[in-house]
């Protein structure tokens, strides 16, 4: 393909993927009446949309909630995933392979079956309208265990043996020897977990009713569907932009890691 056509097509692609975000950005500064206009830049620049958002919903609180929940989940998944992955890969014990197969099974059962009973369990524990209700069900995932196990299997046995001879405890081996050698998989698990959990909206919608405990995506989704925004398009777009911002910033900084993580996870499954 001729280079000029190649670049043209790529640029058209770039526009298709980027323009909607650009449009969204400028629209949030337009008064409602202008948003329908084709013209990209606002005639009148206004903060009123953002003002409405901050007036109506505690979006900063939502951001904080999301941050707390997602960080805790990511931390927990990484730690427990690596511990369990280690147990499944480098230690021999009765029932190990059966447990591993069971964990694979959990990845095949669609969440639609377990959704409601899990909700009821959370109700029984009194964790509805509680951030813990968002954290606990996803604190350990079979997927992370799988990734860690696969990675740990490639660690040379001599290293592990040497450490054992030195009197290292199992956890010590994991944290001092194996994990430092497995940085890529740790990064992958952390990023994948973080992104997936941050964007998760169905579960919070079910478990959290109290606005002050809602996650950011949940709050913005409700803002757009309910009447809180007074049907102001500008305000809805503003809230959406605010929601997208943290992730976009994190993405731009850690691009390479993001892309590598998601690509490798795809290959593994």
Whole-number minimum distance, CB 137 to other proteins, in Å?
5
Which of 205, 245, 247, 198 has its CA nearest to residue 226? Answer: 205
How far does the chain reach from its first CA to its final CA, in angstroms?
Answer: 33
Residue count of the chain: 269
Whole-number minimum distance, CB 266 to other proteins, in Å?
5
Q: Which is nearer to other proteins, 162 or 263 (CB)?
A: 263
- In whole angstroms, give the CA distance from residue 241 to residue 248: 10
**Dihedral sign for Cα atoms in the order 219, 224, 111, 268:** negative
Q: Which is nearer to other proteins, 18 or 60 (CB)?
A: 18
Whole-number minimum distance, CB 148 to other proteins, in Å?
11
Q: Which is nearer to other proteins, 42 or 137 (CB)?
A: 137
Whole-number minimum distance, CB 235 to other proteins, in Å?
10
- In whole angstroms, give the CA distance from residue 24 to residue 238: 8
Whole-number minimum distance, CB 183 to other proteins, in Å?
20
Q: Which is nearer to other proteins, 50 or 198 (CB)?
A: 198
- In whole angstroms, give the CA distance from residue 52 to residue 236: 9
222 in Cβ contact with 214 (< 8 Å): yes
Whole-number minimum distance, CB 6 to other proteins, in Å?
6
Q: Which is nearer to other proteins, 60 or 225 (CB)?
A: 225
Whole-number minimum distance, CB 106 to other proteins, in Å?
5
- In whole angstroms, give the CA distance from residue 254 to residue 191: 10
Q: Which is nearer to other proteins, 180 or 227 (CB)?
A: 227
- In whole angstroms, give the CA distance from residue 85 to residue 182: 12
Whole-number minimum distance, CB 223 to other proteins, in Å?
9
Q: Which is nearer to other proteins, 68 or 128 (CB)?
A: 128
- In whole angstroms, give the CA distance from residue 121 to residue 112: 15
∠ CA 139-144-145, rounded to 5°? 100
Q: Is 230 left (phi over 0), alpha (psi -120 to 50) or beta?
A: left
- In whole angstroms, give the CA distance from residue 71 to residue 224: 26
- In whole angstroms, give the CA distance from residue 72 to residue 55: 29
Q: Which is nearer to other proteins, 186 or 242 (CB)?
A: 242
């Amino acid at each position: 393909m001729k280079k000029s056509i190649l670049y043209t097509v790529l640029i058209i692609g770039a526009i298709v993927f980027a323009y909607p975000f650009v449009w969204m950005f400028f629209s949030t500064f337009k008064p409602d009446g202008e948003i329908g206009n084709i013209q990209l830049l606002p005639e009148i620049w206004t903060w009123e949309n953002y003002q409405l958002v901050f007036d109506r919903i505690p979006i900063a609180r939502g951001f904080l909630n999301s941050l707390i929940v997602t960080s805790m989940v990511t931390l927990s998944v990484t730690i427990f995933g690596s511990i369990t992955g280690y147990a499944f890969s480098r230690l021999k014990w009765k029932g190990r392979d059966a447990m591993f197969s069971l964990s694979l099974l959990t990845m095949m059962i669609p969440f639609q079956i377990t959704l409601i009973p899990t909700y009821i369990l959370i109700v029984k524990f009194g964790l509805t309208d509680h951030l813990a209700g968002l954290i606990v069900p996803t604190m350990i995932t079979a997927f992370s265990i799988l990734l860690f196990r696969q990675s740990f299997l490639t660690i040379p046995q001599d290293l592990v043996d040497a450490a054992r001879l030195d009197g290292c405890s199992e956890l010590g081996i994991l944290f001092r020897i194996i994990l430092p050698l497995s940085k890529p998989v740790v990064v992958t698990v952390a990023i994948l977990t973080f992104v997936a959990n941050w964007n998760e909206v169905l579960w919070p919608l079910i478990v959290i009713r109290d606005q002050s405990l809602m996650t950011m995506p949940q709050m913005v989704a409700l803002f757009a569907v309910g009447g809180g925004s007074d049907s102001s398009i500008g305000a809805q777009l503003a809230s959406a932009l605010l929601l997208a911002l943290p992730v976009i910033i994190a993405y731009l900084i850690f691009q390479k890691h993001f892309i590598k993580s998601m690509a490798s996870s795809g290959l593994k499954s």
